[in-house]
Homo-oligomer: A and B are copies of this chain.
Amino acid sequence: MDQLIKAIIDKQSVAVVGLDTAFDYLPEGMRQNVTRASEAAESILEFNLNVINAVKDLAPAVKVQIAYYEMYGVEGLMAFRETVRYARKAGLVVMADAKRNDIGSTAECYAKAFLGKSKINDLTFEPFGADILTVNGYLGVDGIKPFLDVMRDRDKGIFVLVKTSNPSSGQLQNLVLQDGRTVFECMGDLVEEWGSDNIGAYGYSKVGAVVGATHPVEAATLRKRLPHTFFLIPGYGAQGGTADDLAVSFDERGLGGAVNNSRGILLAYRKERYQGQKYYEAARNALTDMQQDIARALRNKGINRIGE
């Protein structure tokens, strides 16, 4: 997690570019004449690489949502793998947004797949090789421990779903327990506990929490409650979360969270504001607009420089 926080400070930006690249998001010219899944995957990869090149000096990280690649089968997953590789080589921190979860022995496989290495006889390799993975904690600590084991002595991280950005997230997450806590607060407390042995240079652990920008009241509660837990904040833009909504998730140094935006950046080229721009130029400009919007909200909190 420290490398993410360092990148945020270096680039003075908490804005993460979400590469949730559906084939339909591509400009018409990149979709024409595509008749196979493998060709679609190549077009998606080309789109991603151009976006990565356009944002790599500005963004600390990209978040690659694997569902959009699984939708195109094995061919799509090749584009996922190559996107992750390219983004890491470009110096970006790479989050695999896969929300994986299972019993211990199976979670161990996921930990190897996304954050660690697999072994076949004398061959050792990184199957997908991301820096950070999103996970779902419904199964309790058994399903988390394999990730902690893989992260030991490595600068990797996980974000556990705590309070998600979608409208129905409260259906389970906001229920109140007999001890007065909500389910999401309980999950948050578990996350803080799971990370307690792994606190890094900036005071945040390797075990972060997903806390949606669309629920500012819950986010404010969690920020106070979980002092060592870094937040991945989805829901800005297309989902309705504003910069002022998500400002509550940051500490007095402007640290404590990274804000994802996917559709707002990838599809910027279709908006009037960025008319006439290439998709990757529009992506870069939409990212800059987002950064300025968040910087303004942080200034309103008295934060002029991130990390100080």
**A106 & B68 in contact (Cβ 8 Å cutoff):** yes
CA distance A109 to B80 in the complex (A): 14
Chain B hits for A109, CB < 8 A: 22, 65, 67-68, 70-71
> Which residue, A71, A122, A167, has most C-beta atoms of chain B within 10 A?
A71
Q: State whether the Cβ of A301 lies closer than 8 Å to any Cβ in chain B.
A: no
- Fill in one digit per residue for A106-120: 1 if any B CB lies within 8 Å of its CB, else 0: 110110111000101
Cα A70 to Cα B239 in complex, Å, equals 30
Q: How many copies of this chain? A: 2
Mark interface residues in A240-265 (1 if CB within 8 Å of B CB, else 0).
00000000000000000000000000
Q: Mark A67-82, 1 if CB is under 8 A from B, else 0.
A: 1101111101110010
Say how far A101's CB is from chain B's closest CB, in angstroms: 5
Interchain CB contact under 8 A, A73 and B125: yes
Known: A121-B34, A169-B139, A183-B183. A106 touches B67 (CB 8 A): yes
Residues of chain B within 8 A (CB-CB) of A110 are 67, 70-71
Contact segment of A6-14, A172-180, A221-229, A272-280: A172-180
Whether the pair B171, A190 counts as a contact (CB closer than 8 A) is: yes
- Closest chain-B Cβ to A214's Cβ sits at a distance in Å of 10
Q: Is the CB of B186 within 8 A of A123?
A: no
Which residues in B have their C-beta under 8 angstroms from that of A164?
Answer: 103, 138-139
Determine whether A104 belongs to the interface, using a CB cutoff of 8 Å to chain B.
Answer: yes
A187 interface hit (Cβ, 8 Å)? yes
Say whether A166 faces chain B, with CB atoms less than 8 Å apart. Answer: yes
Please measure, in the bound complex, the distance between the C-alpha atom of A285 and the C-alpha atom of B278, giving whole angstroms: 62
Which of B139, B178, B190 lies in contact with A161, CB distance below 8 A?
B139
Known A-B contacts A138-B172, A172-B137; A112 and B35 likewise in contact (beta carbons under 8 Å): no
A77→B41 CA distance, assembly (Å): 15
Q: Is the CB of B120 within 8 A of A23?
A: yes
CA distance in complex: A166, B122 (Å): 32
What are 16 inter-chain pairs, A to B, with CB distance below 8 A? Answer: A35-B123, A37-B120, A65-B102, A70-B110, A70-B113, A71-B127, A72-B120, A73-B125, A74-B81, A99-B102, A138-B138, A138-B164, A140-B166, A175-B177, A177-B177, A177-B178
